[in-house]
Structure 1
């Protein structure tokens, strides 16, 4: 039975194939990094529209706070604006509900309200409105159900509005979607596109470290003293002779 030995030839063969596999990922890193750097950062931000979602609270008498909980425990209460009117955002173990701050009436975040809030962030015509029971990849930084409002503009922008709080969450466009695709290639998180310390990239990082170590080892094994013999050679003196006349 032939014994297994860790010879330079073995390392050279493994180094070749590991270098080929990791080299493809190095190309993807270089390509994705270059594309992300070349994209317009303002369009990548995806917040366009230039309009503010915040408005001053209107003056007047507000509904009594004692009548808001309706017998249920309240964990938090926020007075804020919703377009041009003031609302209470009531947080309880059952979830979040909105109450008109002046009349005390319950507020339902329906499609019309989602369109109104999204239009504050983008003046383009609205193409479609849909409801999401959970966040998609574009709105992965947020939680809970939400409205998606699609606009008919150059960026094919989509605004996301919370179904519980009616808060504007984020705006995404085609430039951001392009950036996000190359971001996925760059951090190698092909499922969630948000983590840079998952097992796959850690494995590739250690593979790159091993490749560097074996390359350094093979560098010394690829040379011999004979290759550097020319450094020890001394130039012979040049003797100039003249003919006697």
Structure 2
């Protein structure tokens, strides 16, 4: 059996193929980073038309929370606005529900309410309202079921609203989707597009480190003493005769 010898030739062969593979990823890093830098940061922010979702609560007496039916143990109560309408957000073991803070009546979050909440963030016409059981790539930073409200605007914007509490989550548009595609190429997380320290990018990072180390090794092995002979050359001083 021939013994494997760690020679500059072996390192050069491995370095060549590793450099080819990682070079493609270096190209993708440069391309994706450049594209993300060129996109409009305000459109990438994905917040639609810049309208405000929060409203001050109107003055007056609110329904007494203690008078609500005791069908289940309550673990938390939040008084907030739903547009210009004050509501209680009541948490229990069964989930979260909304109650009108002035009448005590339960509020059902349907398509019309999701549309109303989304239109507070975008004045464009609504094209479609649909319910999704779990977050998609566009709403991956949030949890639970939600409404997706699609707008007929230049950005093809989509607003996401929680299914049970009608809270606005995020607005996404075509510019953000373009940015997100290049972000996927940049951080190499092709499934979730969230992690920057997953095994693949760690492996490529150490591969780049190895490539740099062997590159320096092969660089010095490529030179010989003859290449530096010119450094040792010195002009001989010209002798001058003094007159007299």
Pairwise same-fold verdict (TM > 0.5): yes
Counterpart residue number, 1:243 = none
- Tell me the matched-pair count: 241
Aligned to 2:7: 7
* Distance change (3 Å), C-alpha of 1:69 and 1:77: farther
Mapped to 1, the partners of 2:26 and 2:139 lie a distance apart of: 29
Q: Which runs of 5+ in 1 are unaligned?
A: 241-245
Alignment match, 2:88:
88
Separation in 1 of the partners of 2:170 and 2:15? Answer: 46
Pairing 1:140-179 to 2, within 5 Å after superposition: 140-179=140-179
TM-score when normalising by structure 2: 0.95
**Please, what TM-score do these two structures have when normalized by structure 1?**
0.95
RMSD (CA atoms): 1.5
The one-character-per-residue Cα deviations of 1:20-63 (angstroms, maximum 9, x if unpaired) are 10010001000000000010000000102121111111222211
Query: What is the deviation of 1:69?
Result: 5.7
Where do 5+ consecutive residues of structure 2 fail to align? none
Distance 1:186 1:201 in 2: 10
CA distance in 2, matches of 1:209, 1:50: 44
> Where does 1:90-239 land on structure 2 (aligned, <5 Å)?
90-237=90-237
Query: C-alpha displacement at 1:68, in angstroms?
Result: 2.9
Deviation, structure 1 residue 67: 2.8
Secondary structure of the structure 2 residue equivalent to 1:37? helix
Corresponding position of 2:21: 21
